[in-house]
Amino acid sequence: MDLTIKDNAGRTWDVAIGVVFSQGCPRFNVTGMREFVRDKQLVYGSSFQMIFVKSKGMLFYN
């Protein structure tokens, strides 16, 4: 699934989320988050909230 993250300032990041199943359990592969994490200066343990808008295929970052 290709998604776009958009923040309050209007900046956007393109990401892709894939899922494969291994022994019946989902494994998620996320690409494109590196730039988002760098730009938002997130560190290990940071938490944030996003809202998914299905009709637009977008995640909104608060």
Q: Determine the pLDDT at residue 49.
A: 82
Q: How many domains does the chain have?
A: 1
Indicate the pLDDT class of residue 8, thresholds 50, 70 and 90. Answer: confident
Span 12-60, pLDDT tens digits:
999 988 888 888 888 888 888 899 999 999 999 998 888 877 777 666 7
CATH number at residue 54: 2.40.330.10
pTM over 0.75: no
What was the pLDDT predicted at 62? 67
* Whole-number pLDDT of residue 57: 67
Give the full edge-to-edge strand order of the sheet including 12-22. Answer: 25-31, 12-22, 2-6, 58-61, 50-53
Query: 40 lies in which domain range?
Result: 2-61
**Contact between residue 27 and residue 21 where contact means Cβ atoms under 8 Å apart:** yes
Task: Mention every residue, 6+ apart, whose C-beta is less than 8 A from residue 54.
Answer: none
